[in-house]
């Protein structure tokens, strides 16, 4: 990253990285995360960049132009044959002149590889803290994430977490599918207003979970399920009853098959115990499937029984997965 500033004509990231972070900078790297700021002018930076050191992080606020690597270079683009490719054009970008926040965090340390998930979580922690004190204009819009090797030999663009599109089914564009979607939307609109609002709110949480991963996705899927299927209660019995109706199973069989109680306990460990553990892609896919099964039942649609289909996959052992968390 290069910053052009009115007080400092040009400086690079090596000048702005704390030297005590690394014993061997040549086998180390730093992660950069950049944000637009608003309501600030060049007069707020008459003495140059402002620097704030946090735990294992440095926040730099500047007024100028920032050169960076575009995150879109790390996102898949569809191809004419139904596959995908990565866009490597116009990777280098430069912002217009203005106020910017750049967070610098150590990534690879002295030859030990960094963790993308831990680093992203720490960045979210920091941005949340900054916004809590200074409101959203402190980090109004995210611009980029990328890693720079301190030996100067390589930069790695970091895109959002990517799910392989080839691992998901081809969208169904048939007239029958369109009709099913239209009927479902009309059904929601015909319900009493509190129920309608609850279902639409659950869909928004479901959408948010779909574009997230790990613990954040787990919690968002759980909120979507709870909003949809647990009105006026914190008892998972209502979810189990809906699954029992979908699959024609007894309550005991539902418990032994879908383990909703274990999901609920995992949610409690995160929310109330502050525990952090890796949530597998299979587990978030399972929660997505549970949501869809319950949604279809509530709307009176024929179930696709997605949750059971996922459980029956050879590579997925739900009980063992839950026992690990």
pLDDT digits (tens, 9 = 90+) for 302-313: 889 999 998 988
The string of pLDDT tens digits covering residues 85-96 is 656 556 788 899
How far is 315 from 108, CA to CA, in rounded Å? 32
* pLDDT digits 0-9 by tens, 137-155: 999 999 999 899 998 766 6
What would the mean pLDDT of 1-24 be, rounded to a whole number?
Answer: 71
Q: Is the pLDDT of residue 11 over 70?
A: no
* pTM of the model as a whole: 0.74
Helices 214-229, 193-210: crossing angle, 10 deg rounding? 170
Is pLDDT above 50 for 7? no
Domains of the chain, residue spans: 2-157, 169-323
Q: Which of 306, 311, 281, 129 is nearest to 209 (CA)?
A: 281
């Amino acid at each position: 990253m290069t910053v052009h500033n009115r007080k400092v004509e040009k400086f690079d990231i090596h000048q702005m990285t704390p030297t005590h972070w690394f014993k061997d900078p040549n086998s180390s790297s730093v992660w950069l995360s950049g944000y637009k700021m608003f309501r600030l002018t060049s007069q707020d930076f008459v003495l140059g960049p402002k620097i704030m050191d946090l735990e294992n992080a440095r926040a730099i606020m500047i007024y100028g132009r920032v050169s960076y690597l575009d995150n879109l270079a790390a996102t898949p683009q569809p191809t004419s044959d139904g596959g995908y490719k990565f866009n490597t054009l116009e990777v280098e970008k430069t912002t217009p002149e203005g106020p910017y926040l750049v967070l610098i965090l150590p990534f690879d340390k002295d030859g030990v590889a960094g963790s993308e998930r831990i680093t992203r979580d720490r960045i979210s922690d920091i941005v949340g803290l900054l916004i809590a004190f200074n409101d959203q204009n402190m980090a109004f819009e995210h611009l980029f994430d990328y890693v720079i090797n301190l030996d100067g030999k390589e930069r790695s663009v970091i895109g959002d977490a990517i799910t392989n599109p080839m691992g998901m089914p081809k969208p169904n564009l048939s007239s029958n599918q369109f009709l099913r979607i239209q009927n479902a939307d009309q059904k929601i609109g015909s319900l009493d207003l509190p129920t309608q609002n609850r279902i639409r709110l659950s869909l928004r949480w479901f959408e948010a979970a779909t574009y997230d991963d790990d613990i954040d996705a787990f919690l968002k899927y759980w909120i979507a399920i709870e909003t949809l299927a647990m009105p006026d209660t914190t008892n998972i019995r209502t979810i189990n009853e809906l699954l029992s109706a979908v699959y024609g199973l007894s309550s005991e069989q539902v418990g032994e098959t879908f383990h909703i109680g274990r999901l609920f306990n995992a949610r409690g460990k995160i929310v109330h115990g502050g525990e952090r553990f890796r949530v597998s892609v299979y587990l978030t896919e399972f929660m997505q499937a549970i949501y869809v099964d319950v949604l279809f039942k509530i709307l009176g649609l024929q179930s696709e029984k997605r949750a059971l289909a996922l459980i029956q996959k050879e590579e997925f052992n739900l009980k063992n997965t839950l026992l690990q968390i």
